[in-house]
Homo-oligomer: A and B are copies of this chain.
Amino acid sequence: MNPIKVIVAGPRGKMGSEALRMIEKDQSFELVACIDRKNDGVKVKDIEGLPSLDARIYTDAENCLASVEADVLVDLTTPENGYKHTKLAIENKIRPVVGTTGFTEEQLDELSALCKEREIGCVIAPNFAVGAVLMMQFSKWAAKHFPDVEIIEKHHDQKLDAPSGTAIKTAQLIKEEREAHKQGHQDEDETIEGARGAEFDGMRIHSMRLPGLVAHQEVIFGGLGQTLTIKHDSINRESFMSGVKLASERVMDLDVLVYGLEHLLD
C-alpha cells in the first residue's frame, strides 16, 4: 500500500514537532510539505530540532494546499489559522485532521456543509489522546449503572487551572447519563473548607498538584459493595500521536466531517 501523503501545519509547535517525529518513524505516512509562518522554502531537516525529513516548508498556506499533491492535512496550529487551513484543504480535496478546541458552532456547521458538498472526510478533535477519550467514553457508560461518582485529577504543580479541562469534560458526559443528585451524607460537614472538592451537578472533582506528576485522572464509581475505577496516566506528548495517526488513517475512508475522536473508536 502506498503511504499516506501528509502536510503538517505548525511543525515547530510542541504537537507539530511530535507529529513530524511520528511520521518519520511510521512507514505508512510520507511528509510532503509543511505550513509555517517562517522559513519559506527551507527543508524540514535544516531546521534545528526537527527530524531529518526532506519536505519543504511553505509560508503561503493557499499556495501549499493548491500546489502540493497530498492526502491529508494535519493541522496543529491556532483556531484562527486552523479554520482557514481547513477550508482551503477541503476545497483542494485534501482531508483535514485538526487538533483544536477553539472552533465555534458556526464554523463547525460551515465546514461540515463544505465536506458534505465536496464528499470529503475531515476529523476535528479537541483531544487526540486515545486513552483519555476512551476513559471519558467508559465513564459515560458506567454512569448509567453507577450514579455515584467522583473524579480525581493529578497534574504537575505548574498547571494554573483547577479542575482540568478533561475532568470537566468527563463530568459533563457523566451528567448527560444520570439524574443530578447531591452525593455523600446529606448532613456532611466540611471541618476544613474545600475538603469535599469542587461540586459539579452533585458529583465531586478533586485536583491534586505536585512536582513529579505529569497528567493523570481517575474516575471512581461507587455502588453497594463495589467500586469501579477508570484511570488514565499520560507521561508525555507521545500519547497524542496514536490519535493523530488513527485520525489520519480513518479520514481517508470518510466523506463527512467527524467532530471528536470518540466517533472513530468503536
A131 to B144, CA, bound (A): 12
Q: Which of B146, B193, B205 contacts A195 (CB 8 A)?
A: B205
Q: List 11 A-B contacts (CB under 8 A).
A: A131-B221, A132-B226, A138-B230, A145-B246, A148-B210, A149-B210, A162-B190, A213-B222, A224-B239, A226-B233, A229-B231
B238 and A209: CB pair below 8 A?
Answer: no
Judge if A228 is at the interface, Cβ distance under 8 Å.
yes
Q: How far is the CB of A161 from chain B (nearest CB, A)?
A: 5
Number of copies: 4
Q: How far is the CB of A173 from chain B (nearest CB, A)?
A: 15
Q: Residues of B contacting A193 with CB < 8 Å?
A: 194, 198
A-B CB proximity, top 3 nearest: A210-B222, A225-B238, A192-B198
Q: How far is the CB of A140 from chain B (nearest CB, A)?
A: 11
Judge if A157 is at the interface, Cβ distance under 8 Å.
yes
A160 to B184, CA, bound (A): 8
- Proximity string of chain A (191-230) to chain B, C-beta cutoff 8 Å, 1 when within and 0 when not: 1111111111000111111111110000011111111111
